[in-house]
Structure 1
Amino acid sequence: MAMPLSNAATITHSADVAEAGLAPVAERPRRVLISTDTYPPDVNGTAYFTHRLATGLAARGNEVHVICQSDAGPAGADVVDGVIVHRLRSAPLVVHPTMRVTVPTRLDRLMNSIDPDVLHSQGHFVVGRAAIAAARRRGVPVVATNHFMPDNLFQFGHVPAGLRERAGRLAWRDFNRVFRRADRVTTPTPLAAGLLRDQGFTGDVEPVSCGIDLARFHPHSEPKQWARRLFDLPDRPTVLFVGRLDEEKHLGELVRALPHVLNTTDAQVALVGRGNQREVLERLAGRIGVAERVRFLGFVPDENMPQAFAAADVFAMPGVAELQSIATLEAMASGLPVVAANAMALPHLVNGNGYLFEPGDVAGLASHLTAILTDGELRARLGRTSRELARTHDHQVSLARFEQIYDEVTR
């Protein structure tokens, strides 16, 4: 494995510098080590957040290292987007179609060579727990952010419905055992912080939003036809979903709502993302006669996501296991009204900018989508409110708060 970059200069004592009549040598930047079990090219909310955290901190002058799983198998290290990425040897994850898992290992040698001021762990799985253990042995302060919910793993582990409650308790017990070793714990929303307390975590938990790049994601004033053309979408009212096409996203409800919406308006649903439910959703759309109105756009690179939001009239998020939902924040920043499930953290994002529906209430979901798609004035007003609410999640504010936390735990 390639070693991390080292400082070229040795910091000289200020008194010695003054006696020599030389300009003082600047102190090195804050050195942040981020550990994660998922990082691009993985496609999921945790991977995207971790990448944006790492590159955002680097852009603010920090020296940032990331330890993660190799996306190909062999170990290696490289500088990517201003971040020093150390990839650990990995193997395919049997229960997941695309992700890989790091071969369990001690990280003391890598921890010693990087010599970070602080470790910021993004999880408690293989890489996270190994990095936290190595940091504790070396005396490096640990900040830990939780993105975990057992519900997101049950379908991949093929856990029967009758065993999920017990499996969830065991999973949370393991989480508590790892994260209680951290000096500071954060999670994206107040509701997510309350969830940890409900699951027996006794330490303080601070909500820090994942944040959104308000410069990249913003409303567009021009007609939507240009953006739809980029994705080969017909120029008609469009409901957009962005995320994994997986079980906990409850996308079947969105597909089943579409026939009700079509009773009033000439609409279509565009689904951005990949997942193991695509074939199920395709069959469902065909069975209920809306196959031509459900468009599967597949994976869309992050650099093209602003155009995807620009192609839509309303954003739908029927998922029930969201600790914040970066995709919903991006939609809000893009000026889209939101219709979301009244579940987990999503109600925190809907306040005068759209509607909540009860999970499973397909008629309610359809009614809200229809109201927005058929009323241009309402759509514009809700969209403006979405943008204003998104302003309170500026990622620069989140990055600044994390830097403050790093300073607090290293004093």
Structure 2
Amino acid sequence: MRILTLSTLFPAAHRPNFGIFVERQTAALTAVRDFAVTVINPIGVAPWPLSLMADQPALTHVAEKEQWGELDVYRPRFTAVPKIGGRMNPAMIARAVLPLARKLHVQIGFDLIDAEFFYPDGPAAMRLSRELGIPFTIKARGGDIHHWGNQPGCAAQVLEAADKAAGLLAVSSALKADMVALGMDADKIRVHYTGLDQSRFAPRDRAAEKAKLGISGPLILSVGALIPRKGQDLLIAALPSLPDAMLLLAGKGESEADFRALAAELGVADRVAFLGSVPHDDLPALFAAADIMALVSASEGLANAWVEALACGTPIIASDVGGIRELVKTPAAGRIVARTPQAVADAARDILANPPARDAVAANVSAFSWDENARQLAAFFRDVVR
């Protein structure tokens, strides 16, 4: 089966963590017998003079075709206007991708287009499907539904793509329910959990991993983009109630300056470390060193950081969003809390006073693997094409 994967989320040399889970999923699928995958990763480039912005030069230097592991990855450019151009992105992507997709389809003969993010990838795949005469599917991951599914000029495109798609995927049962609430057909949606490399994300000696970081006291880790939705400000605000704890923030984003200012204002700047974008291969050691992984987002699908932390034996503190209740089924897995600093602090004190056994924590995600993820995805694609 020949799959054309369309994904605006995919790693590149200048942003190796960006869409890493799409890359891992796609690579695992290629290992399934009788499956071949070609990736088109459209790169949005701002028009001049916005093209002079800080991150834009790196985008223009990304190779238009490269071998990424075992995958052939094509990266055509499309015009993307930051902040205000969201409603136009699907059409701009389809216009930029169609000549390449048509050429590849003549050479390869695709059976299916796989859109890996609901917006803008889904409506763009809908346009390609119409032009190429092959079915398409879309995977929903969280923010693509919760944000774009409610944006003027975008929501209608989300629902049209859902209606025209041959099948839909959701990363959690909770996200499937949110999709149905928007008006999508429940019978078309299959839950497809993320994968996990159990050989890398596994319990380790916590004290030894902490020592490598030069830390001896309680350690709270948060992995996620530094943006308002992720709620790292609530973790910083909880620190005055946790006088011995250190907070590590792995990620970067638009809110970093605000978070640094908040830490200084609260007098905890010396206990908050901003690690920037941490390579994915370095995360297992951080998860294993932490006593708690906290992520109290305003919305999520099923955060990969939750799954990876649990696999490393680290309990989590999370808000009651997305698929969190599909992971935190026992006290060993952690606590589901209100999005307030006090609730975070109370939960952290409780976990630190009664730390669960690492193996008991990891058992909550023992069924997660990339092999299982790929097996389910292959079965879904076969069913759709059949």
- TM-score after normalising by structure 1: 0.79
The one-letter code matched in structure 2 to 1:48 is I
TM-superposed deviation, 1:407 = 1.4
**Distance verdict in 2 for CA 1:312–1:288, change over 3 Å:** same
1:329 and 2:304 are equivalent in the alignment: no
Worse-matched range after superposition: 386-395 or 270-279: 386-395
* Partners of 2:118 and 2:124 in 1: CA distance: 9
The correspondence for 2:339, drawn from 335, 347, 359, is 359
Q: Deviations over 1:32-51 (max 9, x none)?
A: 22111121138699812211
1:244 equivalent among 219, 225, 241 = 225
2:374 is the alignment partner of 1:399: yes
The yes-or-no answer on 1:409 pairing with 2:380 is no
Match of 1:52 among 6, 20, 24: 24
Q: Do the aligned residues in 2 keep the contact of 1:68 with 1:127 (CA within 8 Å)?
A: no
Whether the aligned pair in 2 keeps the contact of 1:245 and 1:275 (CA below 8 Å) is yes
Aligned to 1:7: none
For 2:321, the equivalent position in structure 1 comes to 343
SS for the counterpart of 1:295 is strand
| 1:343–1:43 Cα change, 3 Å | farther
Q: Is the 8 A contact 1:44 1:244 kept in 2?
A: no
Q: CA 1:237–1:261 in structure 2 vs 1: closer, same or farther (change >3 Å)?
A: same
Matches within 5 A, 1:168-247: 168=151, 171-203=154-186, 204-220=188-204, 222-226=205-209, 229=212, 232-247=213-228
Q: Hey, what's the Cα distance between the residues in 2 that align with 1:77 and 1:114?
A: 16
Q: Residues of 2 paired with 1:134 and 1:385: CA distance?
A: 47
Residue number in structure 1 paired with 2:137? 143
TM-score normalised by L of structure 2: 0.84
SS of equivalent to 1:84: strand
SS in 1 for 2:10: coil
Deviations, residues 313-351 of structure 1 (Å, cap 9, x unaligned):
111111121100001100011111111112232232212
- 1:188–1:324 contact (8 Å) kept in structure 2: yes
Runs (5+) with no aligned partner, structure 2: 44-57
Question: How many residues end up aligned between the 2 structures?
Answer: 356
Question: Which of 25, 28, 35 is the aligned partner of 2:6?
Answer: 35
Question: Tell me, which stretches of 5 or more residues in structure 1 are unaligned?
Answer: 1-29, 155-164
Q: How big is the shift at 1:236?
A: 2.1
Distance 2:258 2:211 in 1: 25
Aligned mates of 2:159, 2:214 — CA distance in 1: 46
Deviation at 1:109, TM superposition (A): 3.0
Give the counterpart letter for 2:60 in structure 1.
G
Distance 1:370 1:410 in 2: 51
**1:172, distance to aligned residue in structure 2 (A):** 2.8
Residue 95 (structure 1) aligns with: 83
Q: Is the 8 A contact 1:34 1:64 kept in 2?
A: yes
1:368 corresponds to: 347
The alignment status of 1:79 with 2:67, answered yes or no, reads yes
SS of 2:240 mapped into structure 1: helix
Q: 2:210–2:216: 8 Å Cα contact kept in structure 1?
A: no
Q: What is the aligned-residue RMSD (CA, Å)? A: 2.6
Is residue 246–residue 275 contact of structure 1 (8 Å, CA) maintained in 2?
yes
Amino acid at match of 1:174: Q
Among residues 84, 102, 111, which one is paired with 1:108 in the alignment? 102
Cα distance between partner residues in 2 of 1:254 and 1:57: 37
Contact 2:263 2:272 in 1 (8 A): yes
| In 2, Cα distance between equivalents of 1:388 and 1:121 | 32
Moved more, 291-300 or 53-62: 53-62
Mapped to 2, the partners of 1:135 and 1:113 lie a distance apart of 17
* Partner AA of 2:356 in structure 1: A
Question: What is the DSSP-based 3-state SS (H/G/I as helix, E as strand, rest coil) of the residue aligned with 1:235?
Answer: coil
Structure 1 stretch displaced more, 38-47 or 238-247: 38-47
Q: 1:189-237 deviations in whole A, cap 9, x for unaligned?
A: 11100101101112521111012221221101x34344552xx453321
Q: Percent identity?
A: 22
CA contact (8 A) 2:206 2:288 kept: no
Distance between the aligned counterparts of 1:148 and 1:340, measured in 2?
15
Please state how far the C-alpha of 1:67 moved relative to its aligned partner: 0.7
Counterpart CA distance in 2 for 1:151 and 1:358 is 22
Alignment of 1:256-335 (within 5 A): 256-262=237-243, 266-335=244-313
Aligned to 1:143, the other structure's residue is in SS state strand
2:125·2:136 contact (CA, 8 Å) conserved in 1?
A: no
List per-residue Cα deviations over 1:132-170 (Å, max 9, x = no partner).
32234333232211125368758xxxxxxxxxx9x5365
Secondary structure of the equivalent of 2:242?
A: helix
CA distance in 2, matches of 1:354, 1:338: 5
Distance in 1 (alpha carbons) for counterparts of 2:130 and 2:370: 29
Output one character per residue of 1:352-380: Cα deviation in whole Å (capped at 9) or x when no partner. Answer: 111111123x21210110121233xxx23
SS at match of 1:50: helix
Equivalent position SS for 2:19: helix
Superposed displacement of residue 409, structure 1 = 1.9
- Structure with the greater alpha carbon radius of gyration: 1
Q: Which residue of 1 aligns with 2:128?
A: 134
CA contact (8 A) 1:243 1:272 kept: yes
Are 1:380 and 2:356 an aligned pair? yes
